[in-house]
Amino acid sequence: MKARALVAWNVRRIRVDRGVPQERLAYDARIDRSYMGGIEQQSKNPTIDLLDRIAATLDVHVSEFFIQPPKGSAPPKTLRKGRKPARAHRKKK
């Protein structure tokens, strides 16, 4: 796995394991939310300083972003989408 893919995999894995929404992580790490999404989608190439900020926000060492996943591992899941809880539908009269 290439370094950018490895970082993307591990940032998402750690973030989801901790239940931190992408927007919250971006805000706390002082990164634009769309840039944070680009890191997780492998379209952005973060600097070491930026990885340090993300690691500090997630309370992990930056080396955690470079751990190889076991062979055949499923990609990290995403958090539940949406900002509001689901509402019950009303029956029409």
pLDDT tens digit string along 29-86? 999 999 999 999 999 999 999 999 999 999 999 999 999 988 877 777 776 665 544 5
**Per-residue pLDDT for 92 more than 70?**
no
Which residue segments constitute the domains of the chain, with CATH numbers given? Answer: 3-65 (1.10.260.40)
User: What pLDDT is recorded for position 59?
Assistant: 95
User: What pLDDT is recorded for position 73?
Assistant: 77
Distance CA 60, CA 55 (A): 5
User: What pLDDT is recorded for position 71?
Assistant: 85
